[in-house]
Amino acid sequence: RLDAVGNLFEGLLTATVSAAAKDHLDRVQSLVTALQAASFELPVGVDDLQIHVLGLTSTPSPLPASAERSLIISPFVNDGFFTKVRPAPVDELVSRSESLDGLNASTLSLVADTYVFDDGSTPDLDANERLSPEDPGRPLSGLHAKVFAFEQTGQARLFLGSANATSAAFNNNIEILVELSGQVAQLGIDRLCDDTGDERGLRSLFNTYSGPDPDDEPEETTSLDHARGTIARLPIEGYVEESGTGWAVTYRSPKPIPAIDGTVIHCWPLASAGNRRRIEPTEPFDVRFQTSLETISGFLAFELEHENGALNRFV
C-alpha cells in the first residue's frame, strides 16, 4: 500500500512557506486519497514492502541497529551518520572520493571495506550542446544511487530512496525510503552487486578507496580548497518563478564569489549539468537558470578550474 506516500504529500502542504490555492489543495487531496487506497502486487522475490517517510514527524531511523552483513552506497556521507544515525560497523561503504576524503579516521575505522564508484565514464560538459539542459537524453555519470542493504539470519532488508548517508538526511530533511524484505538468495548483497551470467554487476564498478594523496595534488589545490570552503559558507537563496512554458530559478547571495588568480568558475543546478554558467567573481552572486519542474533543485554544483589543470568540483 502507498499510504505513506499520501502522507508525504499531505505533510508537504503543511511545510509550504505561503498558503496554497484551494484548487491546488483539492488536487493534492484527491491524489492523497487515491494513493491511500492503492495497492499492488509485490515484486518477485520480495516478501514485504514498507515505505518510510523521514522528516515529517520525529521518528527513529528505520535502519537496523546491527546486522551480520551490511552495505551502504551513497554519493554523500558524513561523520554524523555514523555517530547520530547508525553508530555501528559497516562491512562495505561505497561513495564519492570527495565525500570519503572528508570523513574522520574514527569513522573510516568503522568500515571494513571502503570503495569509490567508477562507472568508467567522464562527463563531457561541452558535448550535445544542441540538447536542452533538461533533455533526458543527456547521459548521466557518476554515483547517484542511495542503497542501504542488510543481512541477518538468512533475511535481507534493502532500503532504496532519496536519503544519503548523512545526519541531515535522517534528522532534518524530508526524505523517502522504500524497504524491501526477502530471502538473502533473492535480495541479498551478493545478488544485488555480483555478476549474473553475461551481465556485469555493480561490484565491478567498485574501486578500493586509498585516501587522498597530497603528493599528487597540483600546487594550486590549496587555494582551490580555500575558495571551495568560502563558497560553501555563502548564504545563497533560491527564488523560483514561472518563465514562459517552464520555470526559472535565481540563486542570490549578498556576498560575492571569491576571485582566484588564473581560475575559471562555473556553477549549475545539480539536476541539470548541461545548464552550467560561468561566474564573474567580485560581484554579488546573482545567477538565473531556466529549468523544468522536474529539475528544480536547491543544490548548486560548482567547478573551479585553474589554468594549470587543477580541478575542484563540489555541491
C-alpha 181/C-alpha 152 separation (Å) is 11
In this predicted structure, the answer to whether residue 48 has a pLDDT above a threshold of 60 is yes
Give the 3-state secondary structure of residue 65: coil
- DSSP character string of 193-252: HS-BTTBPPGGGGEEE-----GGGS-TTHHHHHHHHHHHHTS--EEEEEEETTEEEEEEE
Q: Among 67-71, 139-143, 150-154, which stretch is predicted with the lowest mean pLDDT? A: 139-143
Looking at residue 63, its pLDDT comes to 97
Does residue 121 have a pLDDT over 50?
A: no
Specify the pairing of strand 175-183 against strand 206-208.
unpaired
pLDDT of residue 218: 47
Q: Residue 81 pLDDT > 90, yes or no?
A: yes
| pLDDT tens-digit map of 259-292 | 878 888 888 888 777 788 888 887 788 889 888 8
Q: Partners of 180 in the beta sheet? A: 49, 158
Strands 69-73 and 147-152: antiparallel
More confident residue, 242 or 283: 242
Q: Which helix (H) or strand (E) holds 97?
A: helix 97-101
| CATH topology classification for 41-123+130-212 | Endonuclease; Chain A (3.30.870)
Cα distances (angstroms) measured from residue 208 to each of 17, 75, 99, 205: 44, 15, 14, 10
User: How much is the pLDDT for 120?
Assistant: 53
Is residue 127 within 8 Å of 276, Cβ to Cβ?
no
Torsion of CA 284, 290, 292, 298, to 10 degrees: -10
- Cα 313 to Cα 315: distance, rounded to the nearest angstrom: 7
Q: What is the DSSP string of 123-192?
A: --TTTTTTS-TT-TTSPP-S----EEEEEETTEEEEEEES--BSHHHHHTS-EEEEEEEEEHHHHSHHHH
Encoded amino acid at 61, one letter:
S
109 phi and psi angles, rounded to 5 deg: -70, -20
Look at the block and give the residue holding cell 515505505. Answer: 51
pTM more than 0.75:
no
Q: What is the pLDDT of residue 223?
A: 72
The mean pLDDT of 71-99, rounded to a whole number, is 94
- Residues with Cβ within 8 Å of residue 307, at least 6 apart in sequence: 262, 263
Helices 3-14 + 22-37 axis angle, to 10: 160
Query: pLDDT category, 222, cuts 50, 70, 90?
Result: low
Q: Which CATH architecture has domain 217-314?
A: Sandwich (2.60)
